[in-house]
Amino acid sequence: MDSLFQIRFCPAPDDIQLFNTEKLRKKFLIDDFFEVDQLRLIYTHYDRMVIAGAMPVNNSVQLKPDPYMKTEFFNKERETGIINVGGKGTVWADGVSYELDYKDALYLSRGVRDISFESHDAVFPSKFYINSCLAHQTLESKKVSRSEANPVQLGSQVNTNERILYQYIVPWIVPTCQLMMGITEVAEGNVWNTMPCHVHRMRTEAYFYFEIPESEAVSHFMGEPQETRHLWVQNEECVLSPDWSIHMAAGTHHYSFIWGMAGSDSEVDAVSNKNLR
C-alpha cells in the first residue's frame, strides 16, 4: 500500500484577488481522491484539518500518518470521521470491525492506534472519505448508519434549493471534540445547496461532492462575500472552505455532498444575497 501525501498552506483573503483559475484550483480543489489500494492524505494548515480518501481493492489500506506529521500513529492526538461512498466495506479499529454500507459513517476517537480499511467486493470497492482534526480528549468511537442520521428538510422547490441535510457526526448524535460531518442531498430539479449562504468565522469546512453524473458539473462559490470566486467541480472532488469564505454551489444536475467542519465555533454568519459581489 502506498500513501499519497500533500500539504496545503493557507492563502489569506487578499491573496485570492490575484489568483487565476489554475492557482485557485491548486490551493482549494482536491481531486483524484480514490486510487486502487492507496491512501491519499491532504494536510491543510486551516485548523490543521486532514482530508483523506482510501479505496482498498486487492489489499487492505491502513490509515497512517505521514512522517511530516511526526506522530506515532494517526489518531494519537486526533479524532477521525469516515463516510463510505462506495461498495460495502469494513473499517478495523484496534481489532474492532465496523461494517459500513453506502452512506454509513464512523467516528473514531483520539487514541485509536490501528485503523485499516477493506472492501467486501473488489469489483465494487468501498470508497472511504475521511476528515480528521485535532482532539483534546478521548471519547467513544461510534458507527452512525444511514438510517440513524438525523434528516433536516431545507429549502424549497420555488427557490430551487430543496434539499435534505443528514446529520451524522454531530454532538447530539456522537460526542466529539470539534469534528462535525454530514451529507446534504439536493432534490431532483433543484440546483442550490445553500442559499442564502453563510460563513463560519472560526471553523474550516470541506465540501466533498459526489453523485454527479459524468456529463454534469457543480459550480462552487467561495471567497469573501464582496470578493467571490467560483470553482467548477466534477464527481468525487472536494473544495476547502476557510473560515473567511462563503460556501455555496449550483449544479447542472442535482447532486450530493459531504460537509465536514473543524474549529472552535460552529455558529454561522448569514450573508444576504444582495450583499454578494
Share of the chain above pLDDT 70, in %: 95
User: How many Å apart are CA 259 and CA 239, to the nearest integer?
Assistant: 10
Instruction: Give the pLDDT confidence of 257-273 residue by residue, as tens digits.
Output: 999 998 776 667 767 67
- pTM of the full structure: 0.94
- Tell me the average pLDDT across 50-63: 96
In the 8-state DSSP scheme, what is residue 17?
G
Instruction: Give the pLDDT confidence of 18-50 residue by residue, as tens digits.
Output: 999 999 999 999 998 899 999 999 999 988 999
Instruction: Give 237's Cβ-side CA count (13 Å radius).
Output: 20
Burial class (CB in 10 A: 0-12, 13-18, 19+), 124: middle
Instruction: Give the pLDDT confidence of 214-259 residue by residue, as tens digits.
Output: 999 999 999 888 888 999 999 999 999 988 888 899 999 999 999 9
Name every residue whose Cβ is closer than 8 Å to that of residue 24 and which is 6 or more positions away in sequence: 16, 229, 231
pLDDT class for 88, splitting at 50, 70, 90?
A: very high
Share of the chain above pLDDT 90, in %: 74
Name every residue whose Cβ is closer than 8 Å to that of residue 83 and which is 6 or more positions away in sequence: 100, 103, 104, 105, 106, 128, 129, 168, 181, 183, 258
Cell, residue 170: 454531530
Q: Domains in the chain, start-ordered, CATH in brackets?
A: 2-275 (2.60.120.10)
Name every residue whose Cβ is closer than 8 Å to that of residue 46 and which is 6 or more positions away in sequence: 8, 10, 204, 240, 242, 243
User: How many Å apart are CA 219 and CA 91, to the nearest integer?
Assistant: 33
Give 83-116 as a DSSP string. EE-SS-EEEEETTEEEEE-TT-EEEE-TT---EE
pLDDT at 1: 43
CB 130 within 8 Å of CB 91? no
Instruction: Give the pLDDT confidence of 199-214 residue by residue, as tens digits.
Output: 777 788 999 999 999 9
The three-class DSSP label of residue 245 is: coil
Looking at the DSSP bridge assignments, the partners of residue 260 are 181, 206
User: How many Å apart are CA 92 and CA 122, to the nearest integer?
Assistant: 18
The H-or-E segment that residue 25 falls in is: helix 21-28
Number of other CB atoms surrounding residue 58 within 10 Å? 10
| Higher local confidence (pLDDT), 176 or 202 | 176
